[in-house]
Amino acid sequence: MATDTGLERPDRPAAAPAFQPLSTGRKLKDNLATVLVCLAFLVAVVPLVWVVVTVVGRGIGAIVSADWWGRSLSGVLPESFAGGVYHAIYGTLIQALIAGVIAVPIGILAAVYLVEYGRGRLAKTTSFMVDILAGVPSIVAALFIFAAFISILGAQQSAFMVSLALVLLMLPVVIRNTEEMLRLVPDELREASYALGIPKWKTILRIVLPTALSGTVTGIMLALARVMGETAPVLVLVGYSQSINFDPFSGNMASLPLLMFSELSNPEPAGQFRIWGAALTLILIIMILQLGASVVSRFSAISK
């Protein structure tokens, strides 16, 4: 018994105390490990804070002006501290939105197939391909779209081509994330539904997907945020424009990464000013999306 230390039993010889004090060696190891873990944490956080401080410090001057959010760079001279980037913000948002509209349904359906139906060779192949797609660098995705749609099919460079490349980059993220969320749904819920005489497709649609909804939505928003910063597709697949172009299917269109890239060749201080401003804008947009994701997951969290 744990309480039998020999004190309550005078008939027995006194035993050594059951709990030894912490030895010096273990204390040392404990402290050493604590120091190492804290150091690793600092090393990981320092560059992050550094980036944020730099970008905010240099970019804040640009984004506080009203023109920044409401005007384009149309007719603005390279050396002039004027104009704004709403043409590039629009481009970034519309390209990501189109990519999302295409990638989300395909991704969710593929994940449903893999989790609920997939058995045998087709599922294994699909899963393998998704892994490969996840490892494709964005420049390769961009060049693939260029080769397939522009060189072979004769399409023109446009924002839509960028969206197609972004679809390739989003798909594996959406599929993998949705798959994990669906696998988290306990089989007991599926069985409970089958036992009520509900067919499989309805079980998936009305029981499984709603249960996995918040995680899935969070994953989609994170994937969107991720592709917004992709630079290779916009460099390869669409031309830069100083002014607004609302049509994603034709003509040049700016986006935040593309604007930053093209301003790199501007030797004037105003070019630096715009680059830092655009960088901060991009970070802000992505941050808003991430916040949105956490709000969604909190509100639709399964109530206990």
Partner 1 sequence: MAKRLDLKAVDIYYGDFHAVQDVNLSVAPRSVTSFIGPSGCGKSTVLRTLNRMHEEIPGARVDGEVLLDGEDIYDRGSDAVAVRRTIGMVFQRPNPFPTMSIRDNVVAGLKLQGVHDKKKLDEVCEASLRGANLWKEVSGRLDKPGGGLSGGQQQRLCIARAIAVAPDVLLMDEPCSALDPISTLAIEDLIADLKKEYTIVIVTHNMQQAARVSDQTAFFNLEATGKPGKLVEIDDTSTIFSNPTEQATEDYISGRFG
In the numeric block, which tokens belong to residue 215?
A: 């995680």
Of 217, 237, 248, nearest in space to 104 by CA: 217
Site string for partner 1, 21-60 (x = CB under 8 A): ----------------------------------------
Least distance from C-beta 196 to partner 1, angstroms? 4
Least distance from C-beta 116 to partner 1, angstroms? 11
- CB of 219 closer than 8 Å to CB of 181: yes
- CB of 175 closer than 8 Å to CB of 110: yes
The count of residues in the chain is: 304
Q: Residue 112 or residue 260: which is nearer to partner 1 going by CB?
A: 112
- Dist CA 84 CA 72 (whole Å): 5
- Interaction of residue 186 with partner 1, rule CB under 8 A: yes
Q: Residue 12 or residue 206: which is nearer to partner 1 going by CB?
A: 206
Least distance from C-beta 204 to partner 1, angstroms? 11
- Interaction of residue 202 with partner 1, rule CB under 8 A: yes
Least distance from C-beta 21 to partner 1, angstroms? 41
Least distance from C-beta 203 to partner 1, angstroms? 8
Site string for partner 1, 108-147 (x = CB under 8 A): -----------x----------------------------
Least distance from C-beta 184 to partner 1, angstroms? 11
In the numeric block, which tokens belong to residue 108?
A: 């969710």
The DSSP-derived string for 190-236 is: HHHHHHTT--HHHHIIIIIHHHHHHHHHHHHHHHHHHHHT--HHHHH
Stretch that binds partner 1, among 42-50, 96-104, 172-180, 197-205 (CB under 8 A): 197-205
- CB of 123 closer than 8 Å to CB of 190: no
Please state, as a whole number, how many other Cβ atoms lie within 10 Å of the Cβ of residue 211.
Answer: 18
Site residues, partner 1 (CB under 8 A): 119, 186, 188-199, 202-203, 206-207, 210-211, 213, 302-304
